[in-house]
Amino acid sequence: MRIVCPFCGERELGEFTYLGDAKPQRPAADAGEDAVYDYVYLRDNIAGVMSEHWYHGGGCRAWLKVTRNTLTHEISAVEPAAGAGAAKVGA
Amino acid sequence: MADFSWDIRGPLDRALVAGAYGAQGDAGVSLTEIRNFDLVQVMARRGKAGETAKAAKARFGIAAPETPRAVAAADATLIWSGPDQFLVLSKDGRHSIESLAIVFAGSASLSDQSHARALISVSGDKARAMLAKLSSIDLHPDVFGVGAAAATSMDHTSVTLWRGNDRSGQAVFNLLVFATFAESLWHTILDSAAEYGVTIGHSEEL
Amino acid sequence: MRGDQANRLNNGGLIDRSTPLNFRFDGKTFSGFKGDTLASALVANGVKLVGRSFKYHRPRGILTAGSEEPNALVELRSGARREPNTKATTAELYEGLEAASQNRWPSLNFDVMSVNQLFAPIFVAGFYYKTFMWPAKFWETIYEPAIRRAAGLGRAAGVSDPDHYDKAWAHCDVAIAGSGPAGLAAALAAGRSGARVILCEEDFVLGGRLLADGDTIDGLPASEWVARAVAELEAMPDVRIMTRTTLFGVYDGGTYGAIERVNDHLPVPPEHQVRQRLWRIVAKRCVVAAGAIERPIVFAGNDTPGVMMASAMRSYINRYAAAPARRIALFTNNEDGWRTAETAIAAGLQVAAVIDARPDVSPAHRSLASKGGFSVLHGAVAGVDGGKGGIRKISVSLSGGARAEVEADGLAVSGGWNPAVGLTSYHRGRPKWRDDIAAFVPDGAPPGMVAAGAANGAFGLGACLREGFEAGAAAARDAGRSGSIGSMPVADDEAFSLTPLWHVAGKGKAFVDQQHDVTASDVELAQREGFESVEHLKRYTTLGMATDQGKTSNVAGLAIMAAVSGKSIPETGTTIYRPPYVPVAIGAFAGHHRDENFHATRLTPSHHWAAEQGAIFVDTGLWKRAQWYPRAGEKDWLESVTREVKAVRSGVGFCDVSTLGKIDVHGPDAGAFLDRVYINAFSSLAVGKARYGLMLREDGIVYDDGTTSRLAEDHYFLTTTTAKAGLVMQHLEFCRQVLFPELDVQLTSVSDQWAQFSIAGPKTRDLLKEVVDPGEDLSNEGFPFMGAREVALRGGLKARLFRISFSGEMAFEISVPARYGEAMARNLMIAGKPLGITPYGTEALGVMRIEKGHVAGPELNGTTTAGDLGLGKMMSTKKDFIGRVMAGREALTASNRQVVVGIKPTDKARRLRSGAHIIPKGETPGPDNDQGYITSVCFSPVLDQWIGLGLVERGRERIGEIVRAHDPLRGEDYDVELCNSVFYDPDGGRQRG
């Protein structure tokens, strides 16, 4: 598999580490135990298109949101995480 | 009071044996370790990419790379190392972390990497063939031209790779590798290069 | 005919008659020529019997001339280089080649196990499943060794492979598998358009079937056209021709696996060279021009030596100038098979008869028959009379029902052609059936890939060239190349006519899968027993599961299944195709990564100094760490380690702790960031101070610990455990980039920048006074416990000094830039000499941390909470942090959790072992009474006995209780006392001293 890193270009799978579902958002500090439980444990495992966190640890160390079809491994989009390359925000 | 000497020991001082290695005849690969350099990681702070770029331009006279490139200033090479960050490679304290701290105060965070890396320069007819055993990057001249850079991995180890200016008509590939991995990676490089014949040396010149 | 190569034809062939090569087969010396394969050289020498079969030990010969060969498998080379199951049909001949037949004892001609043939009725499909079921304990001791002796596929060398293998990456616009007419035409079109092309050919010569079938292309003899095409391709700088290279697999994103047999054609690879190289080819497009495989017809005795594929006979005659037989019979169901009769006659060999399963043959062939003086029999081969000496007679059942006999010493068989659909089907693609050619053809392909020519079901030469050329041009265009592709090579298309015939019913064994000895009746039996699905058929009979992956047998097998189950072939379907297309040595996948290069290693800055001191090193992850420093006269590790601990506790010692992960945390929000990743507060830490921090996972379980120092308002220096360094960096980057992007914080690994040493013992200050500039105040007031700041060393060097202790002694950690690490070790030895300084390794470090009750890896084991470790009070209640909410769950705060406690044996002389289970006194060991286990043990020099830490239910409430340590693994059971986990200096006076 090859992933197009928005910073580095197309790279081989070995440079990346998979984390998992990128949908769940970390709840606010006062959200309560149920919300955090959902965030930590309840993950979709979609046979199809999924948004996933991948880490380009063998390259630029950016965390990426990869939209991937888990059946075909087709990757339709790759975006940097909000805090990757954020120095340009407001610049 | 005891008498101390603070001798420097580079990570390849013992593994590197200058001279010929591997297949006999014209060496296809030339390996040169560059020793004793200054290397500073510059990371723009949140929202400060513009200020960091201005500060870099003022200091080095050229724009710092915003994409995977390496650019040569008069007395330093600026190498892209990730989004909003680059490495400053220089000699003799001209751009030490202390001097750069003033330049980038408030705009970027700096981290000294001078001792964290070993720098190996690879050239020769078979440099690309040898590097193809270590690197998944396409080094074809049309794809990886002079000044191209990559934050990538070799032997599952992070490296910074860039193509310097050609020397005697030959491409020169520079590798910054982590110091504690350097000896292991060096042996892997030698194994990969042995079939082409290798000349090995070291230099203080960037 | 010349000399001992009795079956070598006088003229022709792509062999170099000026370079004879000697080789040995089963101890006997033969000669061949450069350009031969082992199989062609054996054919030239009239050797027909080359092996015994897998299950029945039947005599077998050479069936094919390519990588689909099921029979002619040999052990190539000898000693450590012996390689079993090497196909004689692809092994290039070299001077001194040594090969031995397989599966026979004591010799190929007299094989004791061939009595298995007499018992053949019991060796039916599923025999092993049905027979060797009970008792289970017989499996490993009796059944398996006996079965392995009787059946097998050659012997592994049994010793380490002396050769080197490596791996490499290649990149191109268009990768092409196969260099037959379609592959060459594709390469020409793509290369001319300016594309970067990689052309892989598994043979050592380019040309594919053109090497064996003399055709005409662009008005030139095929061999000349091939030579011109190759010359044109070789002149293109961006076209890379890789012979001896099989494209064996296709992976996601246009990545292809290929195996290059770099030096398999030499007895031993030249110095510094590899035997094989595994390529990962990244290609924008791929043209599969892998051709087609001629398929056998299944009939009784079809495995007799001398029965050969018709196309293989042409290869031996035309390409290798070697006659497989003198008097050849041909059994065909299609037009193409007839070319073998033409070839045989042209080579001056006799054709005994052509047995054609079709109702009629063309006038041209009729006239060939009369010219060649042989008869055309309409019917099918019903049996072969012969054995290890070859074929004697062939019996034919004629269409009208009558029988005929043909005397011949060779039988060429053509059942039609199967496109090589492997590569196009590896992404779970299912090929589709085409009635007109009675074969499966690709039905689509993985993204970026297209099949052309015979691999796509186009069997005519003209069609192969056209499809290849068009596919090459399109692939280059898709890759953005637009150069002029020039003119397309042109040739005629041969007539095609085929009447499907898979199996001729008759008496005697008729083999479908010759490598695995699966017969037509096995397939029928599988159907009767309900294993009708092709996937079941495959596993029940092992059809297609041998190293040839059923290249000559799969389609015939499922056609027979279709017939007996009353379904059509497409309804019956194919099994799933999986890579690799040909066997690939594990050594090639490992490449450089074997033995001491199994993984990269990391060396500490003082590594070579420690090696000079005679240190024993231990692998800790990728690191080599000094474990202890033995001295002359010490009888074991325990004596050395005990000495090191005593030296530290009474004087001073040092240890390289550079393996700890070190991370620079920069930025205005660095403190706020650390507050969120640690359970305790760091924004409140004063500049110049260090603090122990604990990180949780989001589920509330402890993740990592370490000391973090504040070096400036916006700069923290964070340390991790050695084991988790990389993972913590990844986790912190996740927090920075994904969870808390609003925080202005930057992270850099500085693990390799700093050489860090722990200096410990009551004489630490005396030592440091010698090393540090006299102007630095190291007193308790000037440098209190948990202080952290930059200091000057004697000689002007700047260092970072941290007053932290893992040993419980008065201790500092000192960091210098890594290239000064070795000098630091030497200078500490010089300065500490009057103080009796002792370097210590990881064992002594471990002993002192257990004596001090500090937790480490065995306690931070992925199941423990901060509370379990006795660190619950560190959890801040004033801020949010990762793991906070989940750590508060009922089960993680339950009062009966297993918590860290000290453990001492009641018998002071007893040795403790970690892993022993804690059982209450008087209870029976078992899951119901299991209250935890011993996690860490050491011999404590201070207490002069073994001590340990354990995770024990309610442990802290049970100090003083005697419990059982039960260790069924080592057969030990003894009493231990639960005690305070801090064995040494519980007040901490020494480290604060």
* Domains of chain C listed by start with CATH number: 16-128 (3.10.20.440), 165-292+420-478 (3.50.50.60), 305-415 (3.50.50.60), 501-572 (1.10.10.1100), 665-745 (3.30.70.1400), 895-992 (2.40.30.110)
Does residue C149 have a pLDDT over 90? no
pLDDT of amino acid C136: 65
Does residue C1 have a pLDDT over 50? no
In a domain, B4, yes or no: no
Give the number of other Cβ atoms within 10 Å of residue B125's Cβ. 16
Q: What whole-number percentage of chain C has pLDDT above 70? A: 96
Does residue B22 have a pLDDT over 80? yes
Q: How far is CA C648 from each of CA B68, C657, C845, rounded to the nearest angstrom?
A: 50, 15, 10
Q: Considering only alpha carbons, which residue of chain A is nearest residue B108?
A: A87
pLDDT of amino acid C3: 47
Q: What is the token pair recorded at C798?
A: 């700047």
- Torsion, Cα B120 B121 B124 B127, to 10 degrees, reads 60
Cβ–Cβ contact C253 with A under 8 A: yes
The gap from C-alpha C858 to its chain's centroid, in whole angstroms, comes to 31
Q: What is the DSSP string of chain A?
A: -EEEETTTEEEEGGG-EEEEE----PPPTTS-HHHHHHHHH-----SSEEEEEEE-TTTT--EEEEEEETTT--EEEEEE-TTTTGGGTT-
pLDDT of amino acid B56: 97
Q: What are the two backbone dihedrals, phi and then psi, of residue C341, each rounded to the nearest 5 degrees?
A: -65, -45
The gap from C-alpha B186 to its chain's centroid, in whole angstroms, comes to 14
Q: What is the token pair recorded at C370?
A: 């009369």
Say yes or no: B179 and B83 in one domain: no
Among the listed residues C794, C813, C796, C816, the one whose alpha carbon sits nearest the alpha carbon of residue C805: C813
Does residue B127 have a pLDDT over 60? yes
Does residue C633 have a pLDDT over 90? yes
- Torsion, Cα B129 B132 B134 B139, to 10 degrees, reads 110
Does residue C175 have a pLDDT over 90? yes
Q: What is the DSSP string of C681-711?
A: --TTPPTTBEEEEEEE-TTSSEEEEEEEEEE
Q: Can you tell me the distance from the alpha carbon of B132 to that of B154, in angstroms, rounded to the nearest whole number?
A: 10
Listed in sequence order, the residues at least 6 apart from C926 whose beta carbon sits closer than 8 Å to its beta carbon are none
Name every chain B residue with its beta carbon within 8 A of the beta carbon of A89. Answer: 46-47
Q: What is the token pair recorded at C877?
A: 């209640």
When pLDDT is averaged across residues C215-241 and rounded to a whole number, the result is 97
Q: What is the token pair recorded at C59?
A: 């005599």
pLDDT of amino acid A91: 36
Does residue A59 have a pLDDT over 60? yes
pTM (2 d.p.): 0.94
When pLDDT is averaged across residues C21-37 and rounded to a whole number, the result is 97
Q: Can you tell me the distance from the alpha carbon of B155 to that of B152, in angstroms, rounded to the nearest whole number?
A: 10
Cβ–Cβ contact C164 with B under 8 A: yes
pLDDT of amino acid C111: 73
Q: Give the nearest partner residue to B49 out of A9, A12, A87, using CB atoms.
A: A87
Does residue C950 have a pLDDT over 60? yes
The number of distinct structural domains making up chain B is 2
The CATH number of residue B81's host domain is 3.30.70.1520
Listed in sequence order, the residues at least 6 apart from C654 whose beta carbon sits closer than 8 Å to its beta carbon are C757, C758, C759, C760, C825, C828, C832, C837, C839, C840
Amino acid at C978: L
In a domain, B14, yes or no: no
Does residue C712 have a pLDDT over 70? yes
Q: Give the nearest partner residue to B152 out of A58, A84, A89, using CB atoms.
A: A58
Amino acid at C276: Q
Chain A interface test: which of B158, B161, B176 (most A C-beta within 10 Å): B158
Count of H-run helices and E-run strands, chain B: 4, 12
Q: Can you tell me the distance from the alpha carbon of C53 to that of C539, in angstroms, rounded to the nearest whole number?
A: 19
Q: What share of chain B is helix, strand, coil (3-state, %, to 5)?
A: 20, 35, 45
The gap from C-alpha C652 to its chain's centroid, in whole angstroms, comes to 49
Residues C357 and C438 sit within 8 Å (Cβ to Cβ): no
Q: Can you tell me the distance from the alpha carbon of C473 to that of B5, in angstroms, rounded to the nearest whole number?
A: 68
Say yes or no: B120 and B194 in one domain: yes
Say yes or no: B119 and B90 in one domain: no
Q: How far is CA C806 from each of CA C654, C667, C856, C904, rounded to the nearest angstrom?
A: 12, 29, 11, 21
Q: Tell me the three state secondary structure of residue B1.
A: coil
Provide the domain limits for residue B72. 38-112
Residues C660 and C857 sit within 8 Å (Cβ to Cβ): no
Is A83 within 8 Å of C741 when comparing Cβ atoms?
Answer: yes
In a domain, B2, yes or no: no
Q: Tell me the three state secondary structure of residue C59.
A: strand
Q: Give the nearest partner residue to A58 out of B47, B84, B153, using CB atoms.
A: B153
Name every chain B residue with its beta carbon within 8 A of the beta carbon of A87. Answer: 43-49, 52, 83-84
pLDDT of amino acid C102: 87
Q: Can you tell me the distance from the alpha carbon of C537 to that of C346, in angstroms, rounded to the nearest whole number?
A: 43
Nearest CA-CA distance, residue A18 and chain B, Å: 16
pLDDT of amino acid C771: 95
Residues C9 and C66 sit within 8 Å (Cβ to Cβ): no
Among the listed residues C330, C333, C327, C332, the one whose alpha carbon sits nearest the alpha carbon of residue C341: C330
Does residue A89 have a pLDDT over 70? no
Q: Can you tell me the distance from the alpha carbon of C35 to that of C8, in angstroms, rounded to the nearest whole number?
A: 13
Say yes or no: B53 and B141 in one domain: no
Q: Considering only alpha carbons, which residue of chain B is nearest residue C797?
A: B6
List the A17-21 sheet strands across, edge first.
Answer: A17-21, A49-55, A63-69, A75-80
Q: What is the DSSP string of C60-125?
A: E----SSTT-SS-EEEES-GGG-EEEEETTTPBP-TTEEEEE-S-SB-SSSBGGGGGGTTGGGS-T
The CATH number of residue A19's host domain is 3.30.2270.10
Does residue C158 have a pLDDT over 60? yes
The CATH number of residue B170's host domain is 3.30.1360.120
Say yes or no: B52 and B131 in one domain: no
Does residue B68 have a pLDDT over 50? yes
Residues B173 and B131 sit within 8 Å (Cβ to Cβ): yes
Task: Give the count of Cβ contacts less than 8 A between chain A and B.
Answer: 64
Q: In terms of DSSP bridges, do strands B38-44 and C754-760 run parallel, antiparallel, or are they unpaired?
A: unpaired
Name every chain A residue with its beta carbon within 8 A of the beta carbon of B48. Answer: 87, 91
Q: Can you tell me the distance from the alpha carbon of C215 to that of B155, in angstroms, rounded to the nearest whole number?
A: 48
Among the listed residues A20, A28, A17, A27, the one whose alpha carbon sits nearest the alpha carbon of residue A53: A20
Say yes or no: B61 and B151 in one domain: no
Name every chain B residue with its beta carbon within 8 A of the beta carbon of C171. Answer: 138, 140, 143
Question: Predicted confidence band at C2 (pLDDT cuts at 50, 70, 90)?
Answer: very low
Q: How far is CA B176 from each of CA A73, B35, B154, B185, C602, rounded to the nearest angstrom?
A: 33, 11, 11, 11, 16
Question: Predicted confidence band at B4 (pLDDT cuts at 50, 70, 90)?
Answer: confident
Q: Can you tell me the distance from the alpha carbon of C248 to that of C276, in angstroms, rounded to the nearest whole number?
A: 14
The gap from C-alpha C762 to its chain's centroid, in whole angstroms, comes to 53
Beta bridge partners of C691: C708
Q: Considering only alpha carbons, which residue of chain B is nearest residue A6?
A: B83
Does residue C205 have a pLDDT over 70? yes
Does residue C414 have a pLDDT over 50? yes
pLDDT digits (tens, 9 = 90+) for B97-108: 999 999 999 999
Q: Can you tell me the distance from the alpha carbon of C229 to that of C221, in angstroms, rounded to the nearest whole number?
A: 12
DSSP state, C787? B
Of the two residues C114 and B163, the one the predictor is more confident about is: B163
The mean pLDDT of chain C is 94
In a domain, B161, yes or no: yes
Say yes or no: B107 and B166 in one domain: no
pLDDT of amino acid C150: 55
Name every chain A residue with its beta carbon within 8 A of the beta carbon of B176. Answer: none
Our CA angle for C674, C675, C681, nearest 5°, is: 115
List residues of chain B with CB under 8 Å from any CB of chain A.
Answer: 43-52, 68, 81-84, 136, 150-153, 156, 158
Is B180 within 8 Å of C752 when comparing Cβ atoms?
Answer: yes
The number of distinct structural domains making up chain A is 1
Q: Can you tell me the distance from the alpha carbon of C310 to that of C329, in angstroms, rounded to the nearest whole number?
A: 10
pLDDT of amino acid C120: 66
In a domain, B5, yes or no: no
Domain end among B78, B112, B146: B112
DSSP state, C495? P
The total number of residues written for chain A in this structure: 91
pLDDT of amino acid C634: 97
Q: Give the nearest partner residue to C885 out of A17, A33, A41, using CB atoms.
A: A33
Q: Considering only alpha carbons, which residue of chain C is nearest residue B81?
A: C748
Q: Can you tell me the distance from the alpha carbon of C31 to that of C40, in angstroms, rounded to the nearest whole number?
A: 11
Name every chain C residue with its beta carbon within 8 A of the beta carbon of A73. Answer: 252-253
Residues C287 and C186 sit within 8 Å (Cβ to Cβ): yes
